[in-house]
Chains A and B, each alone.
Chain A
Amino acid sequence: MNASPTATTLGARQHARAQEGTVVEAMPTVPASRWTAPPDGVAAGDLTWAVVVAGGGYAHRSVARGTHVRLGDLTGDACAHVLLLRADEPWERLNPADTTKVAWQVYTAAGQLLLSDAGRVLATVVEDTSGHHDALFGTTTRARNEARYGDGSAQGPSPAGRELLALAAAKHGLGRRDVGPTVSFFQGVTVTADGAPRPTGSAGPGAHVTLRAEVPLLVLVANTAHPLDPRPAFTCSPLEVLAWRGEPTRPDDPLWTAAPEGRRAFENTAEHLTAQGIA
């Protein structure tokens, strides 16, 4: 009788260890400095996070103030649903209503300040080659994906964004109550003059958006089809996430004074961080 190679602890250990080195499309690169194609101007040694997230997957990380997080739509059908929270005080989190109201603008573009519910800047959009984003319609739910695609579970073929974000939040000690409204990148929606939403799809392969953390930041990302994606079949392709060490926005940056509301948001943020000894 031939014994199974994994019938013993020794055999099982050898079998497990032999798997290292397998390469799949969606996986992290650890350490991130081994990532072979850093963005222009970024030293490989400054990379702190490099992962390709499958369509229907998620990623999450606690990052230092000043970290730049670049989201990339590799083949044109990614959709990054993003929730940001203060890493050190997670009851302060992204507030899309304040983000749009304070800016007097609903469409996301470079220069947008992603505001918290506390009158402060969590992150800034410092680069955007896509222009197809959405800050109004949020992410998907299990119930709605079940109705649309037949399944919305995290482990199924068409995972709902809320299910994925709930998992990401749980890994930082947070619960579903902490999964508040989100913004999404790479699948656009515009609003007609009479208030009707119009999905505009993606900008195509290779688009990317870079967020700069202005505070110690918890970044939760679900890569899954947009709730208004009109295609009957669930469609979502891999998302690249790269992060590197950097500097937060300083008072001499034109963005600091680009609008009076934004300047006060930066000032509130600096005041808060200074009191905490962080800045």
Chain B
Amino acid sequence: MTTTSTATGTVQGTVLLDTVVPARGPWSAVLRAGQELQVIDLEGNQAVDFLLYDAVDPGLRYSAQDTLQAQETIFLTTGSVLRDCEHGPLMTVVADEVGRHDTLGGACSQESNTLRYGHHTAGQHACVENFLAEGSRHGLGKRDLVSNINWFMNVPVDPDGSLGIVDGLSAPGKSLTLRAERDVLVLVSNCPQVNNPCNGFDPTPVRMVITEGQSA
């Protein structure tokens, strides 16, 4: 096993990929079972919209609802098992420097932006654009998009049921690490949203590091 320094500490195992996803851009990768993905919020409060699929059968895709059924909180953090639509484990959060992440709020889209902010936002770039574009490179289409994860995004639910995207809890250099429980395809949108505080109104790059994982 090797130990590699990153912006914020160490990742375990041989580094297979170390890349920066530009602000507003899509990204995807296939991880083999046991490999780990560290997502580093380089400049702080950058929402990373995230979907994942079984690499062999993408019909087995992330399910926010199954993931929440199997844990005692609506937030994602260390120990959260990211489950597919048949309830099987896809990935596990093995480290988290922020404490809680969202899987209720879904992805921004040009269409939902028109509802939330007005029709002047219809031409703005949005996460669903990234998911559709990057997903199409893997044979995935609109039917394959479902409620996603928003790493580093803060979405509280008030006692009266009010839900909203509010100022983030992350900070420059904070990261989380995911372990693949089987071969998975990861789809990412580095969120381009500028109409709410999920990116501090300033989308920034994020860093992705894939390693062989602690078992390698």
Q: Does A100 contact B (CB under 8 A)?
A: yes
Q: Does A35 contact B (CB under 8 A)?
A: no
Q: Least Cβ distance of A35 to chain B in Å? A: 33
Q: Does A232 contact B (CB under 8 A)?
A: no
Known A97-B105, A144-B87: A102·B112 in contact at CB below 8 Å: yes
Partner of B86, one of A118, A141, A193: A141
Report A-chain residues with C-beta under 8 Å of the C-beta of B142.
91, 117
Say yes or no: B111 contacts A197, CB within 8 Å: no
Q: Least Cβ distance of A89 to chain B in Å? A: 10
Partner of A104, one of B106, B148, B162: B162
Binds B, one of A49-57, A62-70, A172-180, A207-215: A172-180
Q: How far is the CA of A215 from the CA of B163 in the complex (A)?
A: 27
Say yes or no: A181 contacts B146, CB within 8 Å: yes
Report B-chain residues with C-beta under 8 Å of the C-beta of A95.
106, 112, 147
Q: Does B65 contact A (CB under 8 A)?
A: yes
Q: How far is the CA of A96 from the CA of B146 in the complex (A)?
A: 10
Report B-chain residues with C-beta under 8 Å of the C-beta of A137.
65, 68-69
B-side interface residues, number (CB < 8 Å): 49
Q: How far is the CA of A95 from the CA of B147 in the complex (A)?
A: 8
Say yes or no: B146 contacts A196, CB within 8 Å: no
Say yes or no: A197 contacts B74, CB within 8 Å: yes
Q: Least Cβ distance of A262 to chain B in Å? A: 8
Say yes or no: A181 contacts B65, CB within 8 Å: yes
Q: Least Cβ distance of B84 to chain A in Å? A: 9
Q: Does A101 contact B (CB under 8 A)?
A: yes
Q: Least Cβ distance of B168 to chain A in Å? A: 16
Say yes or no: A268 contacts B111, CB within 8 Å: yes
Q: Does B144 contact A (CB under 8 A)?
A: yes
Q: Least Cβ distance of B171 to chain A in Å? A: 21
Q: How far is the CA of A180 from the CA of B144 in the complex (A)?
A: 8
Closest 4 CB pairs of A and B: A97-B106, A138-B65, A119-B111, A107-B161
